[in-house]
Amino acid sequence: MDCDVYVPRLKASISQWRQQGVKGVWIKLPIRHAHLVEPTVKEGFRYHHAESDYLMLVYWIPETPDTLPANASHTVGIGAFVMNNNREVLVVQEKSGAFGAKGVWKFPTGVANQGEDIWTAAIREVKEETDIDTEFVEILAFRQTHKAFCGKSDLFFVCMLRPLSFDINKQDSEIKAAQWMPIEEYMAQPCIQEHESFKYVAEICSGQSNSSCSGFRPVPTLSTSGKKSYTYFNKLQLQNKKKELGG
Amino acid sequence: MDCDVYVPRLKASISQWRQQGVKGVWIKLPIRHAHLVEPTVKEGFRYHHAESDYLMLVYWIPETPDTLPANASHTVGIGAFVMNNNREVLVVQEKSGAFGAKGVWKFPTGVANQGEDIWTAAIREVKEETDIDTEFVEILAFRQTHKAFCGKSDLFFVCMLRPLSFDINKQDSEIKAAQWMPIEEYMAQPCIQEHESFKYVAEICSGQSNSSCSGFRPVPTLSTSGKKSYTYFNKLQLQNKKKELGG
């Protein structure tokens, strides 16, 4: 669409919206219409969010404070704790990054894709980095960090998975080495001992296999709008309650 | 900056970056430079993300697959379970929305602000909606939903808080009514019984006060880069482990 056509139409629409008492107006501009960004901003719109291929602009018309929903604020990452029957834990050395440079052996980690469940992301990352098949058990802990990438926050979920296969075939582009390592050896690494949050997690993980009172397990649920979702909680708690009720 | 100055400079920079083997290039354009969006896109950049006052563009120069960090994918919401010693739970009726229209009594809920901790957001929302002071106890459950607002995902944390004051003084703009309601009455509402995820949460909450094996509690930790963060986990688990070890 040409600016000469777009701008008068936009002006007319805004004055109509104002008359109708419309509050928030959204305009989603595909990246191929990048030439319309400037004229839209000139008419009073601000940016709301952007993805690779579009920019979402918004205009709050009334004088009242804007109640527009916020932009996404968090990235979601996972770390996978996978232990075999010999109390050996699945660890990798990364090719790049601070941990790679120090030669730290760490859990497979990664970022959840847009729209991917936490438990699915954990299984996928372990498979991608080590070729080990796993089933998801539970979330042991999570950490919230702010001012991470681009000022956004991050939620990092430590997931326990049960190995279904044992022969490692490491991914080449990002992983220098992968192995099953005795949990005591993993925990003794200076990097784990030095960082509070790693240390907590390592302690939880090492205790985990003997414990039944535990983390949060996913249960498929429907949201109020009928969307499939997963609710994570301590299932034991619900079972105890049901026993108390004679259920 | 004028386009006539910007475009030749950008072209020169790109050819220099290419020679230097630079991979990912980021350009952050303040909204007052909206006129530079189109020329930047024309030189091969795509959108990465945007906030109210700027647009971040990115260009992955090499032929290899791009390893750029993902845009934020999740909003974070909280629901607050606050129960007094009479097993009455703090509930509100909203003025707008689907629940408001149905007259459902629900937990105080809200969205975490950018950079706000989950536990802080829970305390703040209860205070804002009802004027009740609370202290944070633990996270009882959370739910991950996809394709929520603007195709993003949502993580909703159900938090248990202990009331420190009891006189309700409701917020006027969004809340129609607020009260302490017997937990059995809250749970008997058709809307709670009909929705799986609400029902689980209500069952967990109603069992909670008798239970010690439990949810995830926040512990302040430092991230690897020295940032203050909170790690949430079942503390009981760690205590049990320490007892086993004679700690």
Which residue among B47, B70, B75 sits closest to A55, beta carbon to beta carbon? B47
Residue A240: pLDDT over 80: no
**Rg for chain B (alpha carbons), in Å?**
24
Over the stretch A16-61, which tens digit does the pLDDT of each residue have? Answer: 999 999 999 999 999 999 999 999 999 999 999 999 999 999 999 9
Q: Do A115 and B153 touch (CB under 8 A)?
A: yes
Q: Answer whether B182's CB lies under 8 Å from A208's CB.
A: no
Which amino acid, A187?
A: M
From the list B132, B125, B130, B120, the residue with the least C-alpha distance to B110 is B125
Gap from B47 CA to chain A (nearest CA, Å): 5
CB contact under 8 A, A234 and B234: yes
Q: Do B48 and A50 touch (CB under 8 A)?
A: yes
The model's pLDDT over B223-235, given as tens digits with 9 standing for 90+, comes to: 656 667 777 777 6
User: Which of A49, A112, A231 is facing B49, going by the closest CB pair?
Assistant: A49
What is the per-residue burial (b if ≥16 Cβ within 10 Å, else e) of B3-40? eeebeeebeeebeeeeeeeeeebebebebebbbbbbbb
Q: State the SS3 of A166-235.
A: CCCCCCCCCEEEEEEEEHHHHHHCHHHHHCHHHHHHHHHHHHHCCCCCCCEEEEEEECCCCCEEEEEECH
What pLDDT, on the 0 to 100 scale, is given for residue B91? Answer: 96
Tokens of A216: 């949060």
Q: pLDDT tens digits for B123-138?
A: 999 999 999 999 998 8
How far is the CA of B90 from the CAs of A89, B36, B133, B161, B176, in angstroms?
Answer: 44, 51, 12, 10, 14
Tally the residues of chain B.
247
Contact flag A197-B221 (C-beta cutoff 8 Å): yes
pTM higher than the cut 0.95: no
Q: Which residues have a Cβ under 8 Å from the Cβ of B213 and sit 6 or more positions away? A: A213, A234, A236, A237, A240, B234, B236
Q: Is the pLDDT of residue B116 over 60?
A: yes
The pLDDT score that the predictor gives to residue A247 is 36
Tell me if residue B128 is catalytic.
yes
Which residues, other chains included, contact A224 with Cβ-Cβ below 8 Å and sequence gap of 6+? Answer: B98, B195, B198
Q: What is the mean pLDDT of residues A195-209?
A: 70
The CA-CA-CA angle for residues A28, A31, A34, to 5°, reads 90
* Number of CB atoms found within 10 A of residue B190's CB: 9
Q: How far apart are CA A209 and CA A112, in angstroms?
A: 26
**pLDDT at residue A222 greater than cutoff 80:** no
Look up residue B168 and give its two tokens: 């309700």
**Distance between CA atoms of B2 and B4, rounded to whole angstroms?**
5
pLDDT of amino acid A185: 93
Mutual angle of helices A196-208 and B235-244, in 10-degree steps: 70
Size of chain A, expressed as the number of residues it contains = 247
Considering only the beta carbons, identify the residue of B73, B227, B236 that sits closest to A72. B73
**A167 CA: distance to closest CA in chain B (Å):** 27
Least confident piece of the model among A33-42, A100-109, B15-24, B148-157: B148-157
